[in-house]
Amino acid sequence: MDDDFDEFLHVPARLTVVALLAPASWTEFGFIRDTVGTSDSALSKQLSALADQGYVEVRKLAAAGGRRTLVRLTPHGRAAFTAHAAALERIAAAARAPQPADVEPA
């Protein structure tokens, strides 16, 4: 396996969230939830796991009529996602590489 392949980050729900956050700065919880197509509780669980590992930062702010939750990748999270994405690209490239013809045993 590629050394940059991140088993923790590769969980589909986490990878989807991190990929969505990668090009952004602070992103609203509701936007992430709606874009990913998940429930509040499922997203909260994944964000907690990502925050516990230092991949994301979560801020809860007071707002008129309630609270806003904002999320962003940490520098560690951004570096981990970049490395993991590169590992996936290398794995895919190796799978697409021409393979020697199968040789029948003698």
**Backbone phi, psi, residue 96, to 5°:** -85, -15
Q: Could you tell me the pTM of the whole model?
A: 0.86
The reported pLDDT for the residue numbered 2 is 86
- Containing structural domain, residue 76: 12-92
Contact between 60 and 47 under an 8 Å Cβ cutoff? The reply is: no
Whole-angstrom distance, CA of residue 40 vs CA of residue 18: 16
Summarised one tens digit per residue, pLDDT across range 35-79 is 999 999 999 999 999 999 999 999 999 988 889 999 999 999 999
Asked whether residue 50 is domain-assigned, the answer is yes
Q: What percent of the chain has pLDDT over 90?
A: 80
Q: Is the pLDDT of residue 1 over 80?
A: no
Domain annotation covers residue 106: no
The number of folded domains in the chain is 1
Query: CATH code at 35?
Result: 1.10.10.10
pLDDT of 21 higher than 90: yes
Q: Is residue 98 part of a domain?
A: no
